[in-house]
Amino acid sequence: MENKINVSSVMEGEKTCTACGEKIKQAAEICPKCGVKQEIVAKSLLNTILLGYFLSAFGAHNFYINRTKKGILSVILCWTGIPTILSLLDVMSLTKLDVQAANTKYSQKFIDCEKIVKTVFFILSIVALVGFALSIVGGIIGGIVGALAS
């Protein structure tokens, strides 16, 4: 019987079947190979939002929702500011989408949180994004002015 257990190199958006170890889609509820129902561990939407907002520079929420590869890339690239932008965009999606849509988008089974919390963090993430963009523009202008003045 050919039933090799393959747990190596799981790609982004993939997981291994809890029964046979086959690489399957992150969102899969039933393994297409062995037919065993997959256990999706529910994650707190609030924790995801808090991690994504307060540790946006490191993309910390990615580790929490099992996007480990993206999380590691975010830590490596934290000095570029790119993870900050991507994390804040994730926070905006997580706070704007209803929980069903967020589950589909992030292949999760989120435990929903208060609407007011979502609204507050949606606004905060917009403010942070605008502030971040302005600081970059300010830095560039400052650099040009400094170069011209010298």
Residues of this chain that interact with Zn ion (CB under 5 A) are: 17, 19-20, 22, 31, 33-34
What is the smallest separation between the CB atom of 104 and Zn ion, expressed in angstroms? 22
CA distance 56 to 61: 8
DSSP string, 54-83: HTGGGTHHHHHTT-HHHHHHHHHTGGGSHH
Could you list the beta-strand ranges (E) of the chain.
14-16, 23-25, 43-44, 110-111
Choice between 37 and 69, CB closer to Zn ion? 37
What is the smallest separation between the CB atom of 67 and Zn ion, expressed in angstroms? 22
Helix (H) or strand (E) holding 25: strand 23-25
Choice between 15 and 118, CB closer to Zn ion? 15
CA distance 53 to 6: 35
User: Please, what is the Cα angle at 80 between 74 and 81, to 5 degrees?
Assistant: 75
What is the smallest separation between the CB atom of 5 and Zn ion, expressed in angstroms? 10
What is the smallest separation between the CB atom of 124 and Zn ion, expressed in angstroms? 41
Choice between 22 and 90, CB closer to Zn ion? 22
